[in-house]
Amino acid sequence: MTGTQELSFHMDPQLTEVMRLRVQSLQQRGQKRQDGERLLRPHEAVYRLDFTKQSLGFSHWGVRLAQPGRLTITATSQHWTPDLTHLMVRQLLEPAGVFWRAAGESDAGTVQCYQADAQEFGERIAEMASVRKVMYFLFAFEEGCGPENVDCSVAFEVNN
Strand partners for 76? 92
> For the chain, which residues make up each domain, given as ranges?
2-159
pLDDT tens-digit series, residues 127-139: 999 888 899 999 9
In whole angstroms, give the CA distance from residue 55 to residue 47.
22
pLDDT tens-digit series, residues 59-89: 999 999 998 999 999 998 766 666 666 788 8
DSSP string, 84-101: TS--BGGGB-SSPEEEEE
pLDDT tens-digit series, residues 93-126: 899 999 999 887 777 667 999 999 999 999 999 9
Domain 2-159: give its CATH code: 2.60.120.390
Half-sphere exposure of 141 (CA within 13 A, CB side): 20
Average pLDDT, the chain: 89
pTM above 0.75, yes or no: yes
